[in-house]
Amino acid sequence: MQPMEKVKVIEIKKSVFAENDKDADNLRKELRTKGVYLLNLMSSPGSGKTTTLIQTINRLKDKIRVAVMEADIDSDVDAVKIKEATGIPSIQLHTGGMCHLDAEMTRQGLDNVALEDADLVVLENVGNLVCPAEFDTGAVRNAMILSVPEGDDKPLKYPLMFSVCDLVLINKIDVMPYFDFDLERCKSYIRQRNPKAQVIPICAKTGEGVDAFVQWLLNEVNSWKTN
């Protein structure tokens, strides 16, 4: 007779994200020591992340040193575009099919950035309103772009994304008259999800509102370095 197989239950009771949250906190601490501010920028595909970055960086690059990490499932079109349009260092990360970046992947990306020559590193996350919200990248702040054609109801449909963001840029406000987009309604939906989130309406194409975002970044970087 075979001896009866013993069954044993080992309790774990641990969040799947706990390990990543710990990595992210460690990364933030290291960035603080190095005086580097990391911004995690998220949005849907096509909301204007890259165009917004180009406009913003061209106004920032004489004031502070900026570098960009582009994360995509494939291609390097965004990294090339940023480098050509702004002249700042820009690297491309491939997520290997994954729909988001975690703290470990962010750290691997940062290993390829000359951090001693950077005050601000912008991480352009994979275009997606669901998954990136779950994973703390180790960034100092999370920001997102919602573009007018996507609709003012998005804070209701993707609540987690809006609740983790410190700043929401509402882009493509020049086409507001052609879409049924109510800026005040959108702001109230955002406040319902996240009373602390700041909202800045912009148009990356015409440059409207971009100065307000530039000022927000300068204040943020300055206080991260001095506090």
Partner 1 sequence: MHELGVVFYIIKDVKAVAEENHVDHVSSVVMDIGEVSTVVPHLLTDCWRWAADKEEMLKGCELKINTIPAVTYCDNCKKEYETVKFGKTCPHCNSNNTWLLRGNEVEINSIVV
Please state, in angstroms and rounded to a whole number, the distance separating the CA atoms of residues 131 and 152.
20
Please state, in angstroms and rounded to a whole number, the distance separating the CA atoms of residues 33 and 168.
27
Q: Residue 134 interacts with partner 1 (CB under 8 A)?
A: yes
Q: Residue 17 interacts with partner 1 (CB under 8 A)?
A: yes
**Nearest approach, Cβ of 8 to partner 1 (angstroms)?**
5
Q: Considering only the stretches 25-33, 57-65, 124-132, 139-147, report the one whose residues sit in contact with partner 1 under the rule CB under 8 A.
A: 124-132
Binding pattern to partner 1, positions 98-117, x when CB under 8 A? Answer: xxx-x---------------
Binding pattern to partner 1, positions 62-101, x when CB under 8 A? Answer: -----------------------------------xxxx-
**Nearest approach, Cβ of 98 to partner 1 (angstroms)?**
5
- Selected from 51, 58, 128, 198, the binder of partner 1 by CB under 8 A is 128
**Nearest approach, Cβ of 91 to partner 1 (angstroms)?**
22
Please state, in angstroms and rounded to a whole number, the distance separating the CA atoms of residues 75 and 85.
18
Contacts 24+ apart (CB under 8 A), 109-117: 109/69, 109/71, 110/27, 110/38, 110/69, 113/67, 113/69, 113/89, 114/67, 114/89, 115/34, 115/36, 116/34, 117/65, 117/67, 117/89
- Return the DSSP state at 1: -
- Interface residues with partner 1 (CB under 8 A) are 7-17, 19-20, 97-100, 102, 128, 130-131, 133-135, 159-160, 192-193
